[in-house]
Every structure is written in structure tokens, then in C-alpha cells.
Amino acid sequence: MRRIRLPLRPSLFFLCALLVGLVLLMPLRLVIGWLDLGAGGFAAREARGSVWLGTLAEARFGDAPLGDLSARLAPLPLLVGRARLDLASAGETAGGFAGALTVSRHRFGIDDVTARVPLGRRLMPLPVAAIDLSDVSVTFRDGLCDRADGLVKAVIEGAPAGLNLPGGLSGAARCDGGALLLPLVGQSGMESLTLHVATGGAYRADLKVQPTTPATRDALLAAGFSPVAGGYALAVTGAL
């Protein structure tokens, strides 16, 4: 039988097509494992589909649930040694998650995230039910906060009697001594919430209030607030 030899150019084409096909069909779950997103606090119950068009079921950041997210690896950042995973709430959920996770050898961060992150009772006894993020980006380099920006708002529910915060508390994210700092202030300027998130996810949240009436002061004391310079404060520590 006569052997048929393909010219070099078609052979290279078929080899490249095979490699491209393998990359396009690469399972998302493999990439999630390779990027070690769990070290940054991100996890999901299940990863389905390919790296270019997949789904993360029951995603969460720390203990905060994010729901089901569509996931897609951005190709261009790979050229400069970074992996960017674009995420968005699956389906047509209004007000869901939109943003990205970026990973490189020494960095881990979130980019342009807009989302409401429900906290439930995680910051109790602080009356903070959720955190709203608007175009928030945070980068940790070798475990230390290197860059942070974007608007953050704390949604207040179940506040002590006399403490009225319908607009919540808001402020801009920034880095402070290697930790992520969220300095949030109420519309009246009489209430503030300062949240520090350090290496490893350890956090401290301090809510400070300047009461304007004796009734508000008594309600704060009954809720566990303690007198401090310029008002009354309540602090909570924990880990994400």
C-alpha cells in the first residue's frame, strides 16, 4: 500500500486546530483548581461547562452567598501573565453580581464588581444586613492590600430604636497599612462604620454613633454600645 504524506502546512494546521479545540473545550472546574481561588476566599459547589462559557453553582465569597454565576476566562490578560475570570449572575436576575476575579503569581483581587453581598447575621450584633458594591476593585499583593477603589454602602436593618439610617452608610474603599479599609459614614455624619479586612480575611468592624437625644443614648446602651470619645461604639471581630 502506498503511504500518503500530507504537506507540512496542512499538518501544522491540523495540529493547531487540535490544540485550539482542546483549549476551547477545557473544563472550567480544572481552571478553578489551577487558579487556587479558594485561597482568596472564593468557592462554588460545582463548576460546569468550558473555561470560555461555564457556570458556577452556588458561588460564595467567604460565607457570603453570591448565587449561580456564569464564568468566562478573558484571553487577553493571559498574554501578560494574569488570569481574569469574568463573572455575572446567571439568568436574568436583577441587581445581581457583575465583575471579575484576577489572579497572578503574586496577586489576587476583584475587578469592577457591582453586587449586593448579603451578610445575614454574620456581623451581629451590628445591624448590617448587606454590603452594596459599585465598581469596586481590590488587589492583594503577597497577601497585603495593594490597591482599592469604588463605592461601598452598608445596608442597615434592625437598628436600635432612635437610630434612623434609611440611606445606610457609604464611602470609598481604600488600602490602609496592608489591610482593606472601608470607612463608611451616614448621611447625617453622626454615624460611621469602619471595616478593616486584614491578611487571611480577619476583620474588625466598628460602628460609632453620636446620639442626639437621651432616648437614643439609652437605646444604644441597651443594644450593647459603650461610651467612647465623641459618642457610643460597638465593635465586632471575626474572619471571612
- The closest of 107, 111, 79 to 98, measured between CA atoms, is 111
The pLDDT of residue 24: 56
Q: What cell does 176 get?
A: 490602609
pLDDT, block means (10 residues), the chain with 240 residues: 48 42 68 82 89 90 88 87 90 74 90 91 88 95 93 89 79 95 92 89 91 88 90 89
pLDDT at 145 (0 to 100):
94
What was the pLDDT predicted at 15? 42
Q: What is the pLDDT of residue 112?
A: 96
Of 141, 164, 153, the closest CA to residue 195 belongs to 153
The alpha-helical segments, DSSP class H, found in the chain are 8-24, 28-35, 214-222
| pLDDT at position 231 | 92
Parallel/antiparallel/unpaired status of strands 53-61 and 42-43: antiparallel
**pLDDT for the residue numbered 185:** 95
